[in-house]
Amino acid sequence: MNATTAAGKRSEPAYFSVWDIHAYYGESYIVQGISFNVHEGEILALLGRNGAGKTSTLRALARLGNPELSHGEIWLDHQALHPMKAFEAAQAGIGLVPEDRRIIQGLTVEENLQLAQIAPPAGWSLDRL
């Protein structure tokens, strides 16, 4: 027997939950009201034509800051990701491997993903560099 009730709804809480997220690039409203749940063992596919906002949605979910999340909630294993910075979300278990494969050659997939978990140095700025 699986975890689906007679009404067709899952009885256990979702492992990854997105509720009504909205995100912007500057003044451009890019991601509008996306919500979904992913339960343990499920696979989710995000489909759409070119320019529909698939990558922007994934960037907002990974808390990469561009597009800027303006509304909604993102939860991973009962932990709120929506107030986090990208490195904090990565430490919590969220990561994004870009489609153009901006990876460091010679590192394994796991090592490339672990790079996202490293916090930026405190007190450093572009001016200081």
List, for residues 22-38, the tens digit of each pLDDT value: 999 988 999 999 999 99
Residue 68 resides in a domain: yes
**Are the beta carbons of 69 and 81 closer than 8 angstroms?**
no
The total domain count for the chain is 1
> What is the rounded distance in angstroms from the CA atom of residue 4 to the CA atom of residue 12?
9
Residue 89 resides in a domain: yes
CATH number of the domain to which 60 belongs: 3.40.50.300
Residue 52 resides in a domain: yes
Domain hosting residue 43, numbered range:
16-115
**Do you find a cis peptide bond into 121, omega within 30 degrees of 0?**
no
List, for residues 50-74, the tens digit of each pLDDT value: 989 998 999 999 998 888 889 999 9
Residue 44: HSE in the Cβ half-sphere, 13 Å Cα cutoff = 14
pTM: 0.68
Residue 73 resides in a domain: yes
Residue 129 resides in a domain: no
Burial of 92 (0-12, 13-18, 19+ CB in 10 A): middle
Residue 85 resides in a domain: yes
